[in-house]
Amino acid sequence: MNWKSNWHIPASGFLRSAMLVFFLVYPFSVNAEELQYDVIFTPKLQKAYFEIQKLRLPSARALINTERTSEKDNALIPYLDNYADLHYLLISEDKKAYKTLSQKENLRLDALGKLPDNSPYKRFLQAEIRMHWAFAKLKFGNEISGSWEIIKAYKLLEENKKIFPDFLPTLKSLGLLHVLIGSIPENYGWVAKILGLKGNIQNGISELRIVEKELPFFRQEAELIDLLLHAYTLQLSPAQQSRIRDWPKEQPDNLLLHFFATTILMKEGRSEDAAYYLAEAPSGPAYVSFPFLDYLKGEINLQKGNYAQAEGHYKVFLKIYPGFNYIKDSNLKLFMCNWLVDQDREANIFIQKVKGSGSTIIEADQLAERIAAEFISGKISPNQKILYKARYATDGGYLETASALMETVTEKSFISTEEKAEFNYRKGRILQKSGHPALSVPYYNRALNLTKQEAAGFGAASALQLGYISLEKNDKPNAIAYFKKAMSFKKHEYKNSIDNKARAALTTLGQ
């Protein structure tokens, strides 16, 4: 059967729903016994799927529950149960819920195992369940178990593609894995080869875009994956940057799209634009509780130098957030909100809380713990206040403010090698973001020359940016050299993210 042609279904109204349900009730020729457990996209389950993607989890769960009795043999129900649980766990970081819900993984996999072997949905949905739990387990710090889930999902998807080459939904998840595996740093590539995992960034993106083009039902999820991969691993095109801005306006009731628009724009150094989407984000009992939005409000105000407002948002976040990530980071930011305005007594209260709170799973918390330890041991001097202010302003895209701050100091204003390296990196980053990449190069090179083991992060970050600048000039040999240099630095807080970006860039250059 040609799955491509069958997914061209009218885009709206009763006719679309009726045709989709009819098609998916009888998607392949099997006998009556095999049809007892099937995949049926009823109108309510279709709506539940998209409600989950809006973070309207109460509504989604209600829709699923109304179908549970009449559709007890519908494999889409355990899949959507799991899909909703994934979104809840990633947002809430609720350890008790994680422990309880994780026990349902095997039950749901067993339910999907009842699908007939000649159903292309059997392995696809089992792989989806495993990928959901991979992301949840990685989020909760269970890296080994999460990694095995990814390996099992990959094997299922590759097998499904081989057996049902025209079943295009497989490409949604396989495309994501091909990009992620293709971004693995070179020094870990042997692990993927031993396990039989094959990644290719360009092929993965092509697979996702086939789904975006040909499968209306999975289009939004595939496009969102595509955008996130470009935002956090590759680089966004101008068209993708426009899409990020337009998409939430097309769906004003979609909290997830507002959240990603906010975080991606903040990552791109456009916090003033991000603040608009954060302010417009829908809220209320129809949506899952999302305390992290207060953290983001704190971040934007910290970048703008509105320290009192930032402090208020961080405190709200810590008060209502049940999770474990960004706790150390938030206490560090509360320290900064006071220390940067010379309120040392209040600042000391928060710096002492960093070590005894939260976890060190994510880079932000790892960095917070290191900075707290260095401050308490006296390694951070008041001279660095200007560097922190400039860093936050630069991160938010407030470049005039950042530039003005950096004009008040020189490299000689600082004593340690790390401070000097950071000074040069900050100068380079401001110039690069201000549209003067050529002027930034001497500062990045100076940071590289200064770099020692204690300043590895600034050396790696400088090398990465020099790689991007070389790439823009079509100077591929230097770009390759700088990206490899970026990956050569050992043990720094940004190693995972910098290595992933450098590896992705090298892959696009055929390395």
Averaged over 370-389, what is the pLDDT?
A: 92
Tell me, rounded to whole angstroms, the distance of Cα 24 from its chain centroid.
32
Buried b (16+ CB within 10 A) or exposed e, 309-329: bbbbbbebbbeebebbbbbbb
Q: What is the largest CA-CA distance in the chain?
A: 81
What 3-state DSSP class applies to 115?
Answer: coil
- Return the amino acid letter for 238: P
Interatomic CA distance for residues 36 and 462, integer angstroms: 59
DSSP letter at 62 equals H
Interatomic CA distance for residues 183 and 202, integer angstroms: 11
Residue range 209-222, pLDDT digits in tens: 999 999 999 999 99
Closest by CA to 86, choosing from 145, 142, 131, 149, is: 131
Q: What are phi and psi of 452, to 5 degrees?
A: -125, -175
Q: In this structure, are residues 109 and 129 in contact, taking their beta carbons and an 8 Å threshold?
A: yes
pLDDT at 166: 95
Is the confidence at residue 343, as pLDDT, over 70? yes
Buried b (16+ CB within 10 A) or exposed e, 191-216: ebeeeebebebebbbebbebbbebbe
Helices (H) and strands (E) in the chain, counts: 28, 0
Is the confidence at residue 498, as pLDDT, over 80? yes
Work out the pLDDT band at 194, boundaries 50, 70, 90: low
pLDDT at 197: 67
Work out the pLDDT band at 336, boundaries 50, 70, 90: very high
pLDDT at 475: 94
Six-digit token pair at 501? 């970006």
Cβ-proximal residues to 70 (8 Å cutoff; 6+ apart), any chain? none
DSSP letter at 102 equals G
What 3-state DSSP class applies to 368?
Answer: helix
Residue range 47-60, pLDDT digits in tens: 999 999 999 999 99
pLDDT at 183: 65
pLDDT at 129: 97
Residue range 158-190, pLDDT digits in tens: 999 999 999 999 999 999 999 888 766 555 454
Work out the pLDDT band at 208, boundaries 50, 70, 90: very high
Interatomic CA distance for residues 357 and 209, integer angstroms: 42
Buried b (16+ CB within 10 A) or exposed e, 66-95: ebeeebeebbbbbbbbbbbbbbbbebbbbe
pLDDT at 497: 82
Of 263 and 196, the structure prediction assigns the larger pLDDT to 263
Average pLDDT, the chain: 88
Six-digit token pair at 424? 């040069």
Residue range 99-148, pLDDT digits in tens: 999 999 999 999 999 999 999 999 999 999 999 999 999 999 888 899 89
Cβ-proximal residues to 505 (8 Å cutoff; 6+ apart), any chain? 467, 468, 471, 479, 483
Distance from the first to the final alpha carbon of the chain = 38
Cβ-proximal residues to 349 (8 Å cutoff; 6+ apart), any chain? none
Residue range 459-497, pLDDT digits in tens: 999 999 999 999 999 999 999 999 999 999 887 778 888
For residue 169, CA distances in Å to 161, 206, 219, 257 come to 10, 13, 10, 22
Beta strands in 64-105 (DSSP E): none
Cβ-proximal residues to 139 (8 Å cutoff; 6+ apart), any chain? 89, 90, 93, 325, 361
Q: In this structure, are residues 94 and 47 in contact, taking their beta carbons and an 8 Å threshold?
A: no
Share of the chain above pLDDT 90, in %: 72
User: C-alpha angle with apex 269: 267 to 271, nearest 5 degrees?
Assistant: 95
Interatomic CA distance for residues 101 and 353, integer angstroms: 31
Averaged over 403-429, what is the pLDDT?
A: 93
Averaged over 422-436, what is the pLDDT?
A: 95
pLDDT at 418: 87
DSSP letter at 104 equals G
pLDDT at 415: 86
Calculate the dihedral angle through the C-alpha atoms of 171, 175, 181, 182, rounding to the nearest 10 degrees: 130
DSSP letter at 74 equals B
Is the confidence at residue 362, as pLDDT, over 70? yes
pLDDT at 184: 63
What is the dihedral sign for C-alpha 177, 359, 392, 451? negative
377 exposed, middle or buried (CB, 10 Å; 0-12, 13-18, 19+)?
Answer: exposed
Interatomic CA distance for residues 215 and 173, integer angstroms: 13
Is the confidence at residue 452, as pLDDT, over 90? no
pLDDT at 185: 54
For residue 110, CA distances in Å to 75, 106, 118, 159, 502 come to 10, 6, 16, 18, 40
pLDDT at 243: 95
Helix (H) or strand (E) holding 123: helix 120-139
Interatomic CA distance for residues 81 and 287, integer angstroms: 16
Share of the chain above pLDDT 70, in %: 89
pLDDT at 454: 64
Interatomic CA distance for residues 335 and 363, integer angstroms: 18
